Structure 1
């Protein structure tokens, strides 16, 4: 595994934060997931070492701080997991790997953006798009002032006269809320992978990458090598005349280039007012069923379409509304509030009322409200999740701990008859899918990863406003094989904040008794701590 990005130690001096890695499945180990429902945040001037395996995974991913809009201020970087040497990749070995991080950008910092949302307003149009953390090349003297630092990607055009070099571009949308169209002037993008799964290979002149998504393209340096070329990431599905400034521009520089790039940017897709046409692109992404990923057996050997579906969840998202005087976003009418104690930690210590296992499996006709409702899922079940976007803007849906099969996508309201058009053979498997406004997407998930896993809208403003929940998947016959024990360096918070200095002894005791065989109420537990860990009389904590 290779990691490309900033030194996160710079964050610990000032921020309460965590680190999340979308697409890395943390098999049997939701203790390391990094979001508030599974981990207490890392406190300022403290550190935490995440320990996890990337077993049975390959591909292109990234990491970022998930709390309080911190991703807007940076702290993100790329993760590359390569195939083992004994497993061939389904294309010729590229001549190099190039990481491209694209994302919308606001001049205001993450605390100011939170203040905007907390005041009941929406964020509005971003101030630009960054490519690898840098501003746009001055392609237009009116829109782009001089002196802005921009990204340059250096490449070699050819190995010899008969063969041009081919590079693997790993592109990640690390932004806050804006879908972006990615393109390289004069070059074709051969899609080969999305978030850890190889795709059937097809060429695109441009490609839509939505918030939180990752894609790999093979790009051959077969153009006139005496000039440079534009690399562009521009806002998608917006009024382009108004959003013209929301464009990131980098330079593709051939090693024997004789001069800078000139002329206008390559045009974006012309289907802005024809989203039916735009949806054909994600619908065309199919899994390469004969390629091998992390294992020798082909990706298509898992016949998801023949598995019995044990449950269906219809998750409906709506535009934000005012709840208790604050702007909030909902799924099925519930705006999620993170518990004081992370869910699995609350399980381990039998904290009563930390959350509720009552998330509805379909929208209910009731007043939107805030709650701590969690999905109570069945281990080894296979569920169908319908993502109904009744909002007015494009959304990205993400699930931690899993990759799901995107079996269907369309406009209008999903109905049971929509299943007739599902792709049950070669649907792409990924962890983040787009859901068009006024449309739906359907995914299948095989629940074989024990733990507590976040379901959310990846658009940060909606996520911050409560458009998320968690799925609790517990093996009732747990013997240590399907879920790892909590790490010795686990962070405590909420009612257990005072237990940090004795956490090792605390963990040893609790993991030895196993939750199904012993139940403690919170006051019993605190009395035990007083006697066993702090050498205090139990009555000290009675008050």
Structure 2
């Protein structure tokens, strides 16, 4: 009898949730993706624009909103858009990566439709296919708190989205051909601020006002140090987590990461009559590249005076590690719900399993490839999500990928890791190479509980932060180092884990998590796993067209 009551209660809960989702506010966008010839860094280049804009329009929503984005592909290539850091509720069908979606073909359109999970924060979107991100096509995302959830800082007078990233003068097709031919990407030609070259972007400040700057690194490969001349930055949020408020003179922002800072404008007569540098420069690179924008006060001269603000030494990893460790979650505030972030005691949850992922470089047919645990990812002829749903045969064998480093020869393969819905997974990223790595997991946030030099061992667990570790969706791993994260697999579906560095991702450094419901270990029940049904407008490709 007790089990019957539980089942009835669960059924009522599901119905209530569906009713809530059905009545959620809806925001809709219509975007035309096309090419535009632009002069950037002194060179003409074919840029991907959205509604004629580069960067594209800001996608604005509130936690739990239903978002519809109708994308018209006016390129001469297939196209997909992915939503970096958004955790679509029950819906990996809308993830916009090659393993989950068939592409939008030239001349066609497709509507993404998803509900944002209970999250807030600063994110961005970008094209996920064919190295098109090197041509633009990206833009900022703002997700606001519901009205009943207080924001843990005074409301800013204005907000600016600042998209920084490295830029190549070469066409994205030429860059792609270089990678296809087994060559690595060359050195970037410069750093852009909101699609503009040095000294072209500016942000208007009024004396005494407070501004929220939502900063994202949308580049292909470069860690950037961000700083403002004679202005401190109060860090308040990173990828949906309100953090303990700390003041920074500069911030290292790794590829794929987003931060929100508050900056208070000057009030004194001298300080509020000047212009100031905003500066971004590469770190951990043999080639130093910079980007410059300006803050301008009313009636100030166009150009700043004084030196450009100095950042940390390019190869000073120690300062970047210290900064990473200083960013902690604010346990006393809520994000998308009234309850404090610290009400979820992640340190007390039993770990279901441990996965160890090691990035490495390999050669295949004398061409450069990147791998995880010795396997460089190759796609089957049909997206994994559709293969899974329609139970297509002879495509991939789930859960045969070794979830720990091994000495077996490197190979090509389709890496899929099965995990159970609501499993609490401990993942260690090991980086044995002399270059910084950056990892992202779609559909989920995770707690960054530990990092250290050298290899990881079980003894490292004793030093984990199990109280106030920051929660985010993208994490960097320093050279010859490791990072440990804890992630609740609370979003069913097929979700991409990838290197955020475009070159590594393009050349095989990714895998997919298949998050299954309890009792669905039997492969014949796999399609029932999906909490959201297959969309009526799903695009079919590959073997589904045969």
Please say if residues 226 and 259 of structure 1, whose CA atoms lie closer than 8 Å, have aligned partners that are also in contact: no
Match among 217, 220, 229 for residue 276 of structure 2: 229
Work out the number of aligned pairs and report it: 474
User: CA shift at 1:295, angstroms?
Assistant: 0.9
Matched, 1:84 2:146: yes
1:190-201 → structure 2 map (5 Å cutoff): 190-201=234-245
Paired position in structure 2 for 1:354: 395
Please say if residues 73 and 105 of structure 2, whose CA atoms lie closer than 8 Å, have aligned partners that are also in contact: no
Match among 321, 328, 332 for residue 369 of structure 2: 328
> Counterparts of 1:425 and 1:12 in 2: how far apart (Å)?
49
Matched, 1:413 2:455: yes
User: CA shift at 1:11, angstroms?
Assistant: 4.4
Please say if residues 376 and 471 of structure 1, whose CA atoms lie closer than 8 Å, have aligned partners that are also in contact: yes
Paired position in structure 1 for 2:539: 491
Paired position in structure 1 for 2:417: 375
Please say if residues 296 and 302 of structure 2, whose CA atoms lie closer than 8 Å, have aligned partners that are also in contact: no
> Counterparts of 1:456 and 1:387 in 2: how far apart (Å)?
12
SS at match of 2:100: coil
> Counterparts of 1:177 and 1:16 in 2: how far apart (Å)?
23
Please say if residues 62 and 172 of structure 1, whose CA atoms lie closer than 8 Å, have aligned partners that are also in contact: yes
> Counterparts of 2:544 and 2:205 in 1: how far apart (Å)?
53
SS at match of 1:61: strand
Please say if residues 493 and 530 of structure 2, whose CA atoms lie closer than 8 Å, have aligned partners that are also in contact: no
Paired position in structure 2 for 1:218: 262
Paired position in structure 2 for 1:467: 509
Please say if residues 99 and 496 of structure 2, whose CA atoms lie closer than 8 Å, have aligned partners that are also in contact: yes
More deviation in 216-225 or 204-213? 216-225
Larger Rg belongs to? 1
1:170-189 → structure 2 map (5 Å cutoff): 170-189=214-233
> Counterparts of 1:187 and 1:15 in 2: how far apart (Å)?
44
Paired position in structure 2 for 1:432: 474
User: CA shift at 1:363, angstroms?
Assistant: 0.7
CA offsets 1:439-458 (integer angstroms, 9 cap, x no match): 11100011111101011110
Please say if residues 98 and 168 of structure 1, whose CA atoms lie closer than 8 Å, have aligned partners that are also in contact: yes
> Counterparts of 1:335 and 1:60 in 2: how far apart (Å)?
31
SS at match of 1:330: strand
Paired position in structure 2 for 1:152: 202
Paired position in structure 2 for 1:343: 384
1:163-312 → structure 2 map (5 Å cutoff): 164-222=208-266, 224-239=271-286, 242-243=287-288, 246-270=289-313, 272-312=314-354
Please say if residues 73 and 104 of structure 2, whose CA atoms lie closer than 8 Å, have aligned partners that are also in contact: no
User: CA shift at 1:481, angstroms?
Assistant: 9.2
Paired position in structure 2 for 1:530: none
CA offsets 1:368-421 (integer angstroms, 9 cap, x no match): 110012111122211111000112211110000100000011111111111111
Matched, 1:48 2:91: no
CA offsets 1:320-357 (integer angstroms, 9 cap, x no match): 32113321100000000122211221122111122221
Please say if residues 28 and 482 of structure 1, whose CA atoms lie closer than 8 Å, have aligned partners that are also in contact: yes
> Counterparts of 1:91 and 1:31 in 2: how far apart (Å)?
36
User: CA shift at 1:222, angstroms?
Assistant: 1.8
SS at match of 1:388: strand
User: CA shift at 1:268, angstroms?
Assistant: 1.2
Paired position in structure 2 for 1:61: 123
SS at match of 1:433: strand
CA offsets 1:85-110 (integer angstroms, 9 cap, x no match): 11100100000110000000001011
Question: CA 1:376 to 1:9, structure 2 compared with 1: closer, same or farther past 3 Å?
Answer: closer
User: CA shift at 1:2, angstroms?
Assistant: 10
Q: In angstroms, what is the RMSD of aligned CA positions?
A: 1.8
Paired position in structure 1 for 2:162: 100
> Counterparts of 2:534 and 2:197 in 1: how far apart (Å)?
42
> Counterparts of 1:355 and 1:201 in 2: how far apart (Å)?
46
Question: CA 1:211 to 1:49, structure 2 compared with 1: closer, same or farther past 3 Å?
Answer: same
Match among 173, 184, 195 for residue 122 of structure 1: 184
TM-score between the two structures when normalised by the length of structure 1 = 0.84
> Counterparts of 2:468 and 2:518 in 1: how far apart (Å)?
33
Return structure 1 stretches of 4+ with deviation > 4 angstroms.
1-5, 7-11, 476-482
CA offsets 1:236-271 (integer angstroms, 9 cap, x no match): 1224xx42xx1110111112324521343111113x
TM-score between the two structures when normalised by the length of structure 2 = 0.84
Paired position in structure 2 for 1:532: none
Question: CA 1:76 to 1:2, structure 2 compared with 1: closer, same or farther past 3 Å?
Answer: farther
> Counterparts of 1:429 and 1:286 in 2: how far apart (Å)?
9
